Amino acid sequence: MTSFLEQAGPKPYQRCLVMCGGGFRFGYYLGVYAAMEEHGHKPDLLLATCGAAIAANVIAGLETDAQRRAWLDSEAMFAFWQSLRWNPRQSMITVSRSLLKRWATPPQYKRIPDLYQDFLFSVPGELPLPPLPEQAGSDVAVIAGKILYPQHATGQWRSAPWFEETIFTNSPQLQHLHGQLSPVSAAFLPHSRVAPQLSVIQTTDMADAARASVSDMFYFPCHRSPHGDFLGGVTDLFPMEIASALATEVWMERKAEYDWFKSLPAVRRVLGFNGNYRLRKMMQSPAAAWIDTSDMETALVDHQIRMKADWRQNRIHLSLPEKYEQFLAMNRLQWEYGYQRGMQTIASLPKAV
């Protein structure tokens, strides 16, 4: 079968920064971007998944690093974190049962999970993001997975593809990818439940795109957009092939593997494929620069947002910053981590002759 790159057409961008997830720690992407911009490596395309979609909108929507950091530190962002709420339908028993079921589920299992109600935390309807100007410093593309079955089909057996890999973008320069083979479809990943073709949606509402990408099969519910219902950027968390089809120069993250008990089974249960196999395959691809964030779990252990089991209240708590000063300290740590990783990457680049 023809590879994705062989059929993708001309490359409209010079440099693409691929922002792979980040979860609750998406602030470090602002530091990575600041280092690239400061040293003449500013990307003209930001390709983001999951939490990184928030950072991509902040970067493209504001002109300077000082403005971006001020937005990250804003009262609106602090209020956003505080607004995350535990799903009352869940309990420690239901969460434990769900984890065990996902761990034991083989890739061939075809019963549709409930992405509408089986989640841990609710997300506000709108994310507090700056609007993108008509002439943003970098174009933005955000990955999500459109749900191809109706909500009432939850719990039923279904062999047909469940999701369609979708690229939301504010730029017309990605339209040539519409209809191309998805790099996470069954053509490339055994047991994948992603449809063969990519979909590209050009939109001015990139905040809606970010909300779609933030959705998750474990933490947050799917997102109901005017364009359909969406699972998040986890559909294609490492979109190296898409970046390579769009830009001459790709800057990619070197990520840690999924944990074997929680994240890896969740990906397999919902998307059908092995997430670590996908990650390893991506890491073998050529890139102009690799940004090593594989130590993020240990490097950002201070001031991070964690989940804590509370058996007495029969729920899970998010250890959110209670005070605004703690919130600022968390953001500073994330930005500095990203900046240092960006600087290390720049220092490792071949010197121009």
| pLDDT by position in tens, the chain (length 353) | 344 555 445 799 999 999 998 778 899 999 999 999 999 999 999 999 999 999 999 999 999 999 999 999 999 999 888 888 888 888 888 888 887 777 777 777 789 989 999 888 888 767 889 988 877 789 999 999 999 999 999 999 888 899 999 999 999 999 999 999 999 999 999 999 999 999 999 999 999 999 999 998 888 899 999 999 999 999 999 999 999 999 999 999 999 998 887 888 889 999 999 999 999 999 999 999 999 999 988 888 766 677 777 778 877 777 778 889 999 999 999 999 999 999 999 999 987 54
Say how far apart CA 77 and CA 61 lie, in whole Å. Answer: 15
Strands (E), the chain: 13-20, 45-49, 85-86, 121-122, 139-147, 163-169, 199-202, 223-225, 228-231, 247-254, 289-292, 307-310, 315-318
| Residue 353: predicted pLDDT | 40
| Residue 86: predicted pLDDT | 85
Tell me the HSE value of 92 on the side-chain side, using a 13 A CA sphere. 11
- Residues in CB range of 159: below 8 A, 6 or more apart: 110
Calculate the CA dihedral of residues 234, 238, 240, 243 and round it to 10 degrees.
Answer: 50
Tell me the HSE value of 84 on the side-chain side, using a 13 A CA sphere. 24
Q: Which residues sit opposite 13 in a β-bridge? A: 247
Predicted TM-score of the model (pTM): 0.93
